[in-house]
Structure 1
Amino acid sequence: MNLEDLRSFCQHLPAATEDIKWGHDLCFSVGQKMFCVMSLDSPTTVSFKASDEDFALLTETPAIIPAPYMARHHWMLVQELRRFTTPEWQEYVRKSYELVWAKLSRRVQQELSARSSA
């Protein structure tokens, strides 16, 4: 999967928004909470939130490390896009989205769902 394919996948998740943060990172959020961050600088890296189990498993994999400043929240940094297949990227990013969605208040979830279905 390349960066543009991953970007397209993130854009199509319900109520997902996209913006540039810190001058060089493409960030995807739901309810103003980030679920995926892509570095626009070379080398391209991608960070996302992971479940406890995935975090423990994936940080044992070469080219995947706990994300600087965010590891305590179970974010990981993938240093090579080829580390995952397209279905794996979609699975992990969708899980990150779902983890972030689950932490949103019910009110925010309802507002975002109403906007997405309108």
Structure 2
Amino acid sequence: MNIEALRELCLGLPGVTEDIKWGADLCFLVGEKMFCVTSIDPPHAVSFKVTDEQFDEMVVRQGIIPAPYMARNKWVNVQEWNILTEAEWETYVKQSYSLVKAKLPKKVQKEIDTIV
């Protein structure tokens, strides 16, 4: 995985937008809520939301830490691309999207579901 592949994966999901926040972070959003964040400049650490159980499992892995400012919301920070396999990247990013989308108002979720 690299930053371009991450962009392609995230932007391929329905209703996703991207934005630069805090001057150097590329944020992917669904319904204006972040589900994945990476630094624009190397090294490209990536943060995303996981389930409660996954959070406890992942933060004990070398190179994965609780995401700064977002750990209380069960976000992890993967500090190097090669820590996760391509399949894991796809699984976790899509799951983060789904977890964040599920917290959006039902009306917004329906609007997103109608996007082709």
RMSD over aligned CA atoms reads 0.8
SS, match of residue 18 in structure 1: strand
In structure 1, the partner of 2:36 is 36
Q: TM-score, normalised by structure 2?
A: 0.96
Gaps (5+ residues) in structure 2?
A: none
Name the CA distance, whole Å, in 1 between partners of 2:74 and 2:56: 9
Gaps (5+ residues) in structure 1?
A: none
- In the TM superposition, what are the counterparts of 1:38-57 in structure 2 within 5 Å? 38-57=38-57
SS, match of residue 62 in structure 1: coil
Offset of residue 42 of structure 1:
2.1
SS, match of residue 111 in structure 1: helix
Name the CA distance, whole Å, in 1 between partners of 2:53 and 2:3: 25
- In the TM superposition, what are the counterparts of 1:32-111 in structure 2 within 5 Å? 32-111=32-111
Offset of residue 80 of structure 1:
0.6
Name the CA distance, whole Å, in 2 between partners of 1:56 and 1:20: 29
Q: TM-score, normalised by structure 1?
A: 0.95
In structure 1, the partner of 2:24 is 24
Offset of residue 112 of structure 1:
2.0
How many matched pairs?
116
Offset of residue 2 of structure 1:
1.3
